[in-house]
Amino acid sequence: MATLIQGVLPVLHTPLCEDETIDGDAFAREIDWCFERGADGVCGAMVSEVLRLTYEERLNLTQLMVELTAGRGTVIASVGAESTRQAVAFARQAEDAGCAAVMAIPPVTTALPDGALWDYFTTLAKQCSLPLVVQDASSYVGRAISIEFYKRLLDEFGPEKILFKPEASPIGPNLSALRDATAGQARIFDGSGGILLVDAYRRGISGTMPGVDLLDGIMALWKALQAGDDAAVYRIYFPICAIVALQLQAGLDGFLAIEKYLLVKRGIFSSDRRCEPNAWSLDEETRVEVDRLYELLMESLDE
């Protein structure tokens, strides 16, 4: 029976030692923490720094995700690459490792015409038996994928094979457009750290793929949304929004710097080291504001 892919599926951050190799002990703590907080599974994606890891490290990361999850939930591997051949290799390794699904962004070093993009995604879908989450990460990397393209993929392969994580702006209206264009068949996941989770939930998403740093807040928010408890929803949601707004100001490196800072603050990571080079680092005034907002979030979870 195929694994049901839904709910809260946090995107794992890759903990690094001082020499930028993967810190396996911290990675195990991170995955344990996710499942202790009630996550439905874990993912690899952009904030896992997959585009900055070596080929061997990416393969190792996928293998570790499966081994350390140890059957506690869904595992989704990031397989997007700059060539179809690379992406297929990552996807086949994810399949062999025991992942439940794969997720892919388009190549980012060139703006592909729809024909080439079609060949890329359909080859992935055909050469890997796992469900494929088609990710548009164009709010911070790459270019947008059209609703028409999404629909064509769904028509070709069906909703059990093709799932979606559309992050092109404007995200909310695009979620609704995809939902309506596919008569509600598209299984859609939101991301962007949770800043648009309330709006996305009300538009009918199947799940969310936030970072790990605020997962306890996201889990509480998800449960409040399911319960229809608007008072709890907005009490928890506002500090999450404010933290993610600070992350968004510096794109992918903004997410990485603040999220890894919070993982160290929580005692999950030993270091906030990121793969070099980076475009932005956390300055003192931003750090102080993140700390204020983090305390507000913790207070909201105690109420």
Q: Which domains does the chain have, with CATH numbers?
A: 7-227 (3.20.20.70)
Residue 33 sits at the vertex; the CA angle it makes with 52 and 203, to the nearest 5 degrees, is: 75
pTM, 2 dp? 0.95
Residues 6+ apart with CB under 8 A from 248: 192, 193, 195, 254, 255
Which of 237-258 are b and which e, b meaning 16 or more Cβ less than 10 Å from the residue's Cβ? bebbbbbbebbbebebbbbbbb
List pLDDT tens digits, range 12-55.
999 999 999 999 999 999 999 999 999 999 999 999 999 999 99
**Does an H or E element contain 233, and which?**
helix 230-248
Pairing verdict, β 41-43 and 7-8: unpaired
Which of these, 233, 242, 241, lies nearest to 303 by C-alpha position? 233
Q: What is the 3-state secondary structure (H, E, C) of 94-106?
A: HHHHCCCEEEECC
pLDDT of residue 4: 82
List pLDDT tens digits, range 127-144.
999 999 999 877 666 678
10 and 219 Cβ atoms separated by less than 8 Å: no
Entry field: residues in the chain? 303
pLDDT at 192 over 90: no
- Tokens found for residue 11: 């995107």
**Does an H or E element contain 55, and which?**
helix 55-69
Residue 209 is labelled as binding a ligand = yes
Distance CA 226, CA 205 (A): 12
List pLDDT tens digits, range 70-110.
999 999 999 999 999 999 999 999 999 999 999 999 998 88
**Does an H or E element contain 41, and which?**
strand 41-43
Distance CA 208, CA 13 (A): 16
